[in-house]
Amino acid sequence: MGSEEKCGVLRGKYELGRLLGHGTFAKVYMSRNLQTGKSVAMKVVGKEKVIKVGMMEQIKREISVMKMVKHPNIVDLHEVLASKTKIYFAMELIRGGELFAKIAKGRLREEVARNYFQQLMSAIDFCHSRGVYHRDLKPENLLLDEDGNLKVTDFGLSAFTDHLRQDGLLHTTCGTPAYVAPEVIGKKGYDGARADIWSCGVILFVLLAGYLPFQDDNLVSMYRKIYRGDFKCPPWLSPEARKLITKMLDPNPSTRVSISKIMDSSWFKKSVPKTLRSKEEQEFAVVEDEGVVARGKEIETLNAFHIISLSEGFDLSPLFEEKKREEKEELRFATTKPASSVISKLEEVAKTKNFSFKRSDSCVRLQGLENGRKGKLGIAADIFAVAPSFVVVEVKKSSGDTLEYNQFCNKELRPALKDIVWTTPAGNSMPAA
């Protein structure tokens, strides 16, 4: 341990406790954030050891990936600290252990396996939407929290889309032999998304069968079985589960099933995950009862301070945010049309795009009816009067996935509102944050 670790406190912020586990390059300690009192898992990596084996790029990649992938089924990286000799990852503490420990006791009931598999697919679909491929999916890298929710971890071997060669494929062989797709072993280049799907297929088989689909003491024989997709489903598997696994463990990556098709399969859709509605969805359901969107509420008038804070020129928030412009969760525009016109436009969008709609004279709430990558997309639009014939509209994401929100704003909302957005005499619309 370094001097900071020996005295038990890191940077005056984290108190390091007992060792939770260790691998070749890292140790993980139970730790406590002294400022918040919350427990975290502190992964400590020795720089010298990592540099010696040329793994510094891999560590940097893991940090970049974990900062990008914020999802309920992915272990959260709070922050990264470094000293002269060590790198410290302060991570979400997951107390339920590995999913592997559950399988070690025997196969899971189909509905239990389905629940874990649905959460796994949600996390992997989210990663792929960000151009991130895990490449080492196995039950040991799937943790469970105290409520039994699945959390994907260990992004050390993950790859970005910008690691693709000119042929559009990845070329590094990695992962754990029993879970690796045949095209990865083949070293001819592979599609990261399809390789992850194969690994998820092996995981699903293990959850339902209690053993690996491709097992052999001889590694070469095991690889031969993987190449041929040579496995047998146990008799207790339902026909739908058998069908799905066979499609996922297709040795030909070009005909292997996609995540969208998996999520659309009869087995996957048999029961909806027993997750509670998000806080935003609950609020949306009761919003009228509490009078938040009561019809009688008057439109709010802006004063000079409001206008300054709405103006992008005076907005200091970019100084404190790491988000890129396209990742912003809000946009603003001005219009000379009355608030009722804005509300009508938003209502049209809601009707045509499968959103439920609640309104008052000064605010509108849209709630997606279908689940996205992070639950249902929720959008809030607040209308402020600058003058009787000039209003400012602030649109924010209230729930769901930021990427899906931005796509919705760019493809649906902006085009639908372009006729009413105020433009200056020079022809420029008011800057949308």
Give the closest residue to 87 by CA, choosing from 41, 30, 42, 45. Answer: 45
Considering only CA atoms, give the Rg of the chain: 25
Average pLDDT of the segment spanning 344-365:
84
The sign of the dihedral angle between the CA atoms of 287, 288, 291, 297 is positive
pLDDT greater at residue 398 or residue 425: 398
CA 230 to chain centre: 33
Catalytic residue among 136, 154, 196, 250: 136
Q: What pLDDT does 387 receive?
A: 64
Tell me the average pLDDT across 415-427. 69
Angle at 80 between CA 75 and CA 86, to 5 degrees: 115
In percent, the amount of the chain with pLDDT more than 90 equals: 18
Going by C-alpha positions, the residue among 2, 66, 49 that lies closest to residue 29 is: 2
Report the pLDDT averaged over residues 266-293: 54
As a whole number of angstroms, the distance between CA 175 and CA 199 comes to 9
Q: How far is CA 142 from CA 73, 150, 239, in A?
A: 9, 6, 26
Alpha carbons 224 and 239: distance in angstroms, whole number: 26
- Number of Cα atoms under 13 Å in the Cβ half of residue 291: 3
Task: Check residue 8 and give its pLDDT.
Answer: 65
Mean pLDDT of 78-99: 85
pLDDT of residue 299: 56
Q: What is the DSSP string of 176-243?
A: -GGG--HHHHTTS-B-HHHHHHHHHHHHHHHHHHSS-SS--SSHHHHHHHHHHT-----TTS-HHHHH
Q: What is the pLDDT of residues 110-149, one digit of tens each?
A: 999 999 999 999 988 888 887 777 777 887 788 898 888 9
pLDDT of 178 reads 83
d(CA 67, CA 71): 11
- CATH says 3-92 is which class? alpha beta
Gap between the Cα atoms of 270 and 403, Å rounded: 27
165-181 pLDDT tens trace: 444 443 344 446 788 88
- CA 304 → CA 159, 297, 309, 310, distances in Å? 48, 22, 9, 10
DSSP symbol at 24? S
**333 band by pLDDT with thresholds 50, 70 and 90:** confident
Cα-Cα-Cα-Cα dihedral sign, residues 203, 264, 168, 411? negative
Q: Which residues are bridge partners to 40 per DSSP? A: 31, 92
Q: Is the pLDDT of residue 276 over 50?
A: no
- In the predicted model, is pLDDT for residue 319 greater than 50? no
What average pLDDT does range 411-426 have in this prediction?
74
Tokens of 218: 């001889």
Q: Which CATH architecture has domain 279-417?
A: 2-Layer Sandwich (3.30)
Tokens read off for 200: 């998820």
Residue 131 in contact with residue 160, Cβ under 8 Å? yes
Does the structure show a pLDDT above 60 at 429?
no
**What's the count of helices (H) and strands (E) in the chain, helices before strands?**
15, 16
Per DSSP, 108 falls in state: P
Strand partners, 82: 87
Highest mean pLDDT among 95-104, 151-160, 274-283: 95-104
- 42-46, 262-266, 426-430, range with the lowest pLDDT: 426-430
Give the phi and the psi of residue 343 in degrees, each rounded to 5.
-60, -45
Give me the pLDDT at residue 9, please.
76
CA–CA separation, 301 and 289 (whole Å): 24
Tokens for 378?
Answer: 């929720």
Query: Using an 8 Å Cβ cutoff, are 204 and 244 in contact?
Result: yes
Is 250 catalytic? The answer is no
Question: How many Å separate Cα 254 from the centre of its chain?
Answer: 25
For the chain, what percentages of helix, strand and coil (3-state, to nearest 5) are there?
35, 25, 40
170: amino acid identity, one letter: L
Of the candidates 195, 193, 171, the residue with the CA atom closest to the CA atom of residue 182: 195
Please choose, from the candidates 109, 104, 137, 111, the residue with its C-alpha nearest in 3D space to the C-alpha of residue 211: 104
Check residue 428 and report its DSSP letter. P
User: With 80 as the cut, is the pLDDT of residue 186 above it?
Assistant: no
Measure the CA–CA gap between 50 and 57, rounded to whole angstroms: 9
Q: 233-241: which pairs have CB atoms within 8 A and are 24 or more residues apart?
A: 233/205, 233/209, 234/208, 234/209, 237/208, 237/209, 238/110, 238/267, 240/265, 240/266, 240/267, 240/270, 241/110, 241/204, 241/208, 241/267
> Is residue 425 scored above 80 in pLDDT?
no
pLDDT band per the 50, 70, 90 thresholds, residue 207:
very high
Alpha carbon of residue 277 to chain centroid = 17
- Assigned superfamily of 99-263: Transferase(Phosphotransferase) domain 1 (1.10.510.10)
- Name the range with the highest mean pLDDT among 99-113, 189-203, 250-264, 364-378: 250-264
Domain ranges of the chain: 3-92, 99-263, 279-417
Quickly state the pLDDT bin for 295 (edges 50, 70, 90): very low
Q: Which residues are annotated as a binding site?
A: 47
- pTM of the shown model: 0.61
Binding residues for ATP: 47
